[in-house]
């Protein structure tokens, strides 16, 4: 698990990934999946749901 943030200089630029201290977040070569999730203080409890499948 890696924590960081995404950055973008302009609206239509591709995103860049940075560590929490601002360094470039390097990913291993190949297919990489990452998930963008809100911080706990940004979540609205009224919008939370649970999917069980």
Please report whether residue 13 resides in a domain: yes
pLDDT score of 21: 93
| Residue 12 resides in a domain | yes
Is-contact 24 16, C-beta < 8 A?
yes
pLDDT, residue 53, reads: 56
Taking only the tens place, the pLDDT of each residue in 1-53 is 778 888 888 989 988 889 989 999 888 899 988 777 777 776 666 665 555 65
Q: Is residue 1 part of a domain?
A: yes
In a domain, 17, yes or no: yes
Do the domain assignments include residue 38? no
Q: Could you tell me the residue range of the domain that residue 8 belongs to? A: 1-28
The two tokens of residue 33 are 């999946």
Would you give the distance in Å from CA 31 to the centre of its chain? 16
Structural domain includes residue 6: yes
Structural domain count, the chain = 1
Residue 32 is predicted with a pLDDT of 83
Determine the pLDDT at residue 30.
92
Examine residue 7 and state whether it is found in any structural domain, yes or no: yes
């Amino acid at each position: 698990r890696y924590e960081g943030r995404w950055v973008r200089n302009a609206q239509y630029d591709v995103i860049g990934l940075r560590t929490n201290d601002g360094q470039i977040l390097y990913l291993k070569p190949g297919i990489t999946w990452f998930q963008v999730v809100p911080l706990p203080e940004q979540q609205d409890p009224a919008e939370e749901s649970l999917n069980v499948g």
